[in-house]
Amino acid sequence: MTGLNLIARMRTAALVAMLFVAATSMRALGGMQQTDALFAGTEKFGQGAKSTTEVNLDKNMLGMVGKFGDDGADKSGTELAKKMDFVIVHEYEYASEGQYKMADVEEFRKRLEDGGWSHIVKERSATESTDVCVKLDKDGQFSELVVITAEPKELTFVHLKGHMSLDELSMVGRHYGVPYGVSKKDKDKDKEKAK
């Protein structure tokens, strides 16, 4: 394990711990979760899933997470968090193929055909598909980003809302250990080579 990998893992572990504490505190205070009309109903994909991951960060939670991303005098984590309204992720992993219906996924894809969404990636294969859609604000910055990926044993929905440039959006990923310009498929290939 390289030093950079170890640092990224430590940062991720600390982030997860902080989110857990913050979420517990919010529940104790009666805090509400961010609602997401776009992906309302995705919980049906949790039936039969061997694991589910739900991330729901509103502006206040993002502010706390952003502070974690700061590095000494570098306050870019806080500055990026101020530009974001929410991040919502629904991920479902299944023990075997055929545990969800692609027609049900299409219901959510159709929601992206209206309301000013632009498809920037639309990938289809015999067993996998990916959709990446964006909305731009009047200044040409990203106001929303949606990613839907469907694989035989995994289904992911991501919805990010905020106002930021493409560079800032990329920085959000890099800030939390997502290498710039490296796709999931490239990472999977690297894992296979390491075996």
The structure's pTM equals 0.70
pLDDT of residue 85: 87
In 10 A of CB 90, how many CB atoms? 22
Report residue 71 as tokens: 């590095």
SS3 content of the chain, % helix, strand, coil (to 5): 45, 30, 30
Tell which wins on pLDDT, 190 or 114.
114
Which amino acid would we find at residue 74? D
Tell which wins on pLDDT, 113 or 172.
113
Q: Is 48 helix (H, G, I), strand (E, B) or coil?
A: coil
pLDDT of residue 107: 93
114 has pLDDT over 90 = no
Confidence label for 35 from pLDDT (cuts 50, 70 and 90): confident
pLDDT of residue 183: 43
Lowest mean pLDDT among 14-18, 90-94, 110-114, 167-171: 14-18
Query: What are all long-range contacts of 66-74, with beta carbons under 8 Å and residues at least 24 apart?
Result: 68/11, 68/14, 68/15, 68/18, 69/175, 69/176
Lowest mean pLDDT among 79-88, 97-106, 154-163: 79-88
